[in-house]
Amino acid sequence: MDLIPPDGPEGFERYLAEIRALALPETPRPEGWVPCTELWYVDGAEWLGHLNLRHRLTPQLTEVGGHIGYDVRPSARRRGHATAMLREGLTVARGLGIESALLTCDHDNVASRKVIEKAGGVFEDRRGDKLRFWVPTA
């Protein structure tokens, strides 16, 4: 499934429809993919970042991906956006029945580790280059 939006309003509408469909359990998807909600973080018309919320874990996601992944645009970093995005994402996760969300980050990504810990993340272990944390959603 190609999620790169083509030019024009109709192409963007198709792109949005594909993203919405990925959250539905009945949507066909590549092997190993799970239903996933994508949330965009914006300030007015300015896109600051996005968060992907995987509705369940596979063995691979348990090792390295977790329930939630997020990214803030480089020019918008270090302003608290990741913390705000994760806080909102955890609320959505709770609505999906996830009581504790698994988040992972690279062992040397100090900024992401601080965001996860600020959200209540409890360090579980390190697997390869990834640190794994469980974060309560309530």
DSSP codes of every residue in 47-104: EEEEEEEESS--HHIIIIIBSEEEEE-GGG-SSSHHHHHHHHHHHHHHHTT-SEEEEE
Whether the predicted pLDDT of 42 surpasses 50: yes
Do residues 58 and 20 share a domain?
no
Q: Both 67 and 9 in a single domain?
A: no
Beta bridge mates, 42: 47
DSSP three-state, residue 41: strand
> Side chain identity at 66, as an amino acid letter?
G
pTM: 0.87
**18 and 44 both lie in a single domain:** no
Indicate whether 123 and 55 sit together in one domain.
yes
* Partners of 123 in beta bridges: 133
Query: What pLDDT does residue 137 have?
Result: 97
In this prediction, residue 32 carries a pLDDT of 87
**In terms of domains, do 24 and 38 share one?**
no
69 and 8 in one domain? no
Residues 14 and 53 in one domain: no
Task: Indicate the range of 6-20, 42-56, 72-86 predicted with least confidence.
Answer: 6-20
Give the pLDDT score at 7.
Answer: 66
pLDDT for residue 6: 59
Quote the number of domains for the chain: 2
CATH code, domain with 84: 3.40.630.30
Specify the pLDDT at position 4.
55
Q: Are residues 65 and 96 in the same domain?
A: yes
Whether residue 25 is found in the same domain as residue 43: no
Domain co-membership, 45 together with 113: yes
Domain assignment of residue 4, given as a range? 1-30
Asked whether residue 57 carries a pLDDT value surpassing 50, the answer given is yes
Are 44 and 77 contained in the same domain?
Answer: yes
Average pLDDT value for the chain = 92
